[in-house]
Structure 1
């Protein structure tokens, strides 16, 4: 069973964890995409795993300062559509992610994140992971 979380008329931009690192660094493409979300020209979508990864990055320090990571973890569920691994559709999402990982040689977390973004209706995915470029499907991958 495929899960659709979006209206087909919406423009949905999917954001992998690395997107927020580039946004913090003021990358031009990341800033332009985020401006579209803030101006409500597009809907932002993330996986719940992105929240986990941001939290972990903040605890490690270095790439993202802890206060920045904490602020993102608190604000992203308000700003973006978060795709959770819940009891209603989590098993199906993981089933599809396993097949996506196998067929495209994606890492486990990347396949769950990408499946979540596809379920959210993302037509464009912003990432720093070159793995995403191996996905041969109906989404435009922007490598930041």
Structure 2
């Protein structure tokens, strides 16, 4: 159960990073108001491309939420369904033609994360235990964290 709590805590931290790190009520933290140096590689995207990438990230976060909820209630069918929504072949993921405009490392990290969700769905379907699924989820979230640490999306005109 301790692993599940660690995964949940990691998911909430990732959500905070994805949503702009604001305090409850939407007010920015004081330290966030000061300009910070962001050494991550910028990925310049049009508004439409940026929206697609961010929607895909939200989908993976929603899948993580569903996997954790399924694990908490020992409902492996729910785990499988939640994970499958973010697998490699899932609808709602970035169009293959857009991959050419994205850095190769970003594409590889994204594919590894989507593959992780496929693995989670397979583990759940094949009756793997909570510990095995939680371990694979942890590895998948590590891919997400590595990608967010390396890249940031920016609007370009």
Give the structure-1-normalised TM-score.
0.29
Comparing both structures, which one devotes a greater share of its residues to strand? 1
Greater percentage in helix: 2
